[in-house]
Amino acid sequence: MIILGLSGALTHDPSAALYVDGKLVAAAEEERFIRDKHAKNKMPREAARFCIEQAGISPKDINVVAVPFAPIGLDSPARWHYARRYWYAPDRVIDAIFNGNRRYKRYAGDIKALCESLGINWDRTEFEPVEHHLAHASSCYHLSGFKGKTAILGVDGKGEYATTFFGYGEEGEIHKLREFYDPDSLGGMYGAITEYLGFEMLDGEYKVMGMAPYGDPTKHDLSRIIRCDGSDIRVNTQLINTVGLRRYKEDGRGFYFSKKLIDWLGPRRVGDVADEPYIDYAASIQKLYEDTVLQLIDTHLKKILQETGQLAFSGGGALNVKLNQRIIALPYVKELWVQPASGDSGTAIGAASYAAVKRKEQVETMEHVYLGPSYTNEECVKACEEHPYKPQYEIIDQVPSRIATILADGNPVAWFQGRMEFGPRALGGRSILGCPSAKGVANRINEQIKFRERWRPFCPSILDRVAPEILQTDHPSAFMTFTFDVADSWKERVPEVVHEDGTARAQVVSAEHNPRYHELLLEMEKLTGNGVVLNTSLNRRGEPMVCSPKDALNMFFGSDLQYLIMEDVLVTKSQESHGE
């Protein structure tokens, strides 16, 4: 059975994923192809086209099209909750009660038009709208490989109306225990404060989390923002998650918080400086988020967790690696599996996996994220030949040892190998690498290409053999979805990848899923004594991750990087021709 999952209903992060007989053969985000971060208000056209081509099928072979967005009936408490809580915005109230999520109808029409234009035989294809949070739930539970009863948690801004999901999975079936609805949203709360702290939602949340360890969470009590009685939450819409006329506006742009928040906390942060009181607000909101989620897990999921200790977690809120570290530390949690694409791009996979399981397909465990396009040496050479900058290149052998030597000399290297990653993290397919013991390499990467805020940490990829010693745990960590405390003895050995608070967001690399990257780590170990590299995504600030050799070359020549390795093709810059 062939199932195509398409996301993008919520106007950002459209993506496509394709299952063939329970195997996830391809998945990609639209932004990578059209070179537009988050591809807002776009449909996943190029991503779907890629998936179909990669699978080597005809669009007419597709049996099911699944989307992570469904109509919500009036019998659900969702619409009533929304109407009651947004009483001060009567147009929204009327819409919620009389129309429901109108967006669904328009969206279903857009999907049909997209599918027809791709050559999918719509009349002979089943259409499966999956509730947004069920898609998130499936993307973590069904792909986790967990056997036995598994607690499921979903936290995001909002789907149709639901913002938070508690449930469990048993024998492939997902059971819903409890949901919270808009405006009572933890993801929304974090997003609103992210905006207040001067960042964009969708990307800025990581920056707030990165800023938090520099601040003091005890200086400001932000608990007025959200009330949690242990089992339920109530966001203070006087302050945040505000709609309509109550929203705070600057230059015609509305924010998800109110003027009252500004009166209380002071003006919105602007610029790149991380200073008081903003770093303290970042610390407070991070703590409030962590404490609230942990309290809710304790209330709604503890009993299930006491049976098997398995927790599957997805939704944008699951990308909060600091929260995840604390979840793993709970006495009744044995293993946490976080969908690596926990943002909405991952719901293309979740909708498809949900539809597959519903049709009695066995869905395989997700063991890696290398689901995008790959390119041959010939294609990389061709891109060099066609590039206006006429790059200097050579085809080399023993790529891992050659690159390890360049890295160990303190140079950053752009590393383009194999299939592109799905999800927000570069995991050794489209990465910029550095030697984590080379003093100042993080600064060099920032100067040459990333221009990231100074407080944002760089992360390590670690050889599987040495990971337990560095991270002091055996907990699996293939996808950079958790932080761990770095052993004291290693903090000095790899200082460039240890965050202010002594943690690292680590990827543990096995030979099985990325043999060349694993080999590179072995070579680094030979040269430096540490089987670790600094790994950050291959892109410039504000751009999506590189997809093709042409993108890689464009990025390379738009930066001061000196080395780019694409498959076996090493591109270098002569000293005179740095960047632009």
In whole angstroms, the minimum distance from the beta carbon of 132 to Fe ion comes to: 6
Q: Look at residues 446, 374, 479, 452 and name the one whose alpha carbon lies nearest to residue 416.
A: 374
185/258 with CB nearer Fe ion: 185
Element (H, E) at 380: helix 377-386
CB nearest Fe ion: which residue?
A: 156
From the number of C-beta atoms within 10 Å of its C-beta (0-12, 13-18, 19+), residue 80 rates as middle
In whole angstroms, the minimum distance from the beta carbon of 135 to Fe ion comes to: 8
Q: Look at residues 456, 384, 396, 383 and name the one whose alpha carbon lies nearest to residue 209.
A: 456
Report how far apart, in Å, the C-alpha atoms of 373 and of each of 143, 282, 363, 418 are: 21, 37, 22, 8
CA dist., res. 100 & res. 78, Å (int): 10
- By the 8 A CB rule, do 189 and 235 touch? yes
139/417 with CB nearer Fe ion: 139
- By the 8 A CB rule, do 502 and 213 touch? no
In whole angstroms, the minimum distance from the beta carbon of 185 to Fe ion comes to: 11
What residues make contact with Fe ion under the rule CB under 5 A?
156, 344
Written as six digits, the tokens of 563 are 């080395």
CA dist., res. 371 & res. 20, Å (int): 13
Backbone φ and ψ of 300, nearest 5°: -95, -25
In whole angstroms, the minimum distance from the beta carbon of 312 to Fe ion comes to: 15
- By the 8 A CB rule, do 373 and 546 touch? no
In whole angstroms, the minimum distance from the beta carbon of 165 to Fe ion comes to: 10
156/184 with CB nearer Fe ion: 156
Beta strand residue intervals within 76-143, DSSP E: 126-129
131/344 with CB nearer Fe ion: 344
Centroid of chain to Cα 188: 16
Report how far apart, in Å, the C-alpha atoms of 522 and of each of 19, 401, 409 are: 34, 9, 16
188/434 with CB nearer Fe ion: 188
280/344 with CB nearer Fe ion: 344
Written as six digits, the tokens of 289 are 């988020």
Residues 6+ apart with CB under 8 A from 65: 3, 4, 5, 6, 111, 115, 120, 125, 126, 127, 128
321/524 with CB nearer Fe ion: 321
In whole angstroms, the minimum distance from the beta carbon of 27 to Fe ion comes to: 16
In whole angstroms, the minimum distance from the beta carbon of 159 to Fe ion comes to: 5
CA dist., res. 267 & res. 7, Å (int): 36
8/531 with CB nearer Fe ion: 8
52/66 with CB nearer Fe ion: 66
In whole angstroms, the minimum distance from the beta carbon of 157 to Fe ion comes to: 7
In whole angstroms, the minimum distance from the beta carbon of 564 to Fe ion comes to: 34
In whole angstroms, the minimum distance from the beta carbon of 315 to Fe ion comes to: 5
156/179 with CB nearer Fe ion: 156
CA dist., res. 41 & res. 52, Å (int): 22
